[in-house]
Amino acid sequence: DSGVTQTPKHLITATGQRVTLRCSPRSGDLSVYWYQQSLDQGLQFLIQYYNGEERAKGNILERFSAQQFPDLHSELNLSSLELGDSALYFCASSVAGTSGGDTQYFGPGTRLTVL
Amino acid sequence: DAKTTQPPSMDCAEGRAANLPCNHSTISGNEYVYWYRQIHSQGPQYIIHGLKNNETNEMASLIITEDRKSSTLILPHATLRDTAVYYCIVSRTGNQFYFGTGTSLTVIP
């Protein structure tokens, strides 16, 4: 158990719909990362938040957005869903210090199926 | 962040040491080497990380060459539960990870 929780575990929805994935980081971790893993793309970085502020953006579509709340939990919002958005979505958290390496701890993921 | 190169697959006999190589020839001075593994579709699991020196923990050892252009993850006594995809990642502190395709390790009874 990494200490990172994600809900829901599974999500099945239809094209065109909007969903919200939730992540609670480990106690004390200030940074949250979102990753997408699809069969043909592998694990891809989407976006990083640090203490409520967006810190880095990766290959995140404009239809996707995220935020980190004052209690440090994070939500990933996916809208106008397409079949190709079906994937595993992982959240990771870290202390995100400035030195000494920064281990990311991953949650169990949310499996999104778009029909 | 630097890219890494790993063999796509490896086999290892149960009880033997598994040595997984990784090339990261463009690594910069402030980038760490991290190893993670993913079993089926579970979340990636942290194994070990290092900067310059060799590191050991309860799971594995990490050997980094003196020029830091390559590293080897050693699982000293592989078990069937070590069958997984192993990812070598280089990254600066506080930065996102870029995962490659990893090495699919199969431990054979």
Residue range B28-84, pLDDT digits in tens: 988 999 999 999 889 999 999 999 989 999 999 999 999 999 999 999 999 999 999
pLDDT at A1 over 90: no
Q: How far is CA B62 from CA A83, A93, A95, B52, B68, in A?
A: 40, 23, 22, 10, 12
User: Using CA atoms, how far apart are residues A47 and A86, in angstroms rounded to an integer?
Assistant: 18
Q: Are B91 and A103 in contact (CB under 8 A)?
A: no
Tokens of B84: 């997984």
Contacts of B34 in chain A (CB under 8 A): 101, 103
Residue A42 confidence (pLDDT) = 85
Q: Does the distance separating the beta carbons of B96 and A58 come in below 8 Å?
A: yes
Q: Answer whether A3 touches B (CB < 8 Å).
A: no
Residue A99 has pLDDT above 80, yes or no: no
Between chain A and chain B, how many beta carbons pairs sit less than 8 Å apart?
71
pLDDT of A97 over the 70 cut: no
Q: Mean pLDDT over residues A39-55, rounded?
A: 90
- For B44, the closest of A48, A99, A106 (CB atoms) is A106
Q: How confident is the model at residue A98 (pLDDT cuts 50, 70, 90)?
A: low
Contact state of B93 with A4 under an 8 Å Cβ cutoff: no
The rounded distance, in Å, linking the Cα atoms of B104 and B86 is 6
Chain CA centroid to CA A113, Å: 16
Answer whether B46 sits within 8 Å of A105, measured CB to CB.
yes
More confident residue, B94 or B24: B24
- How large is the average pLDDT for residues A58-73? 95
> What's the rounded mean pLDDT across residues A26-35?
94
**Rounded Cα–Cα distance for residues B35 and B89 (Å):** 6
Given a cut of 70, whether residue B1 has pLDDT beyond it is no
Residue A60 binned pLDDT confidence (cut-offs 50, 70, 90): very high
Q: What are phi and psi of A16, to 5 degrees?
A: 90, -10
Q: Is residue B2 over pLDDT 80?
A: no
- Give the containing element (helix H, strand E) for A34: strand A31-38
Please give the pLDDT value at position A115.
Answer: 96
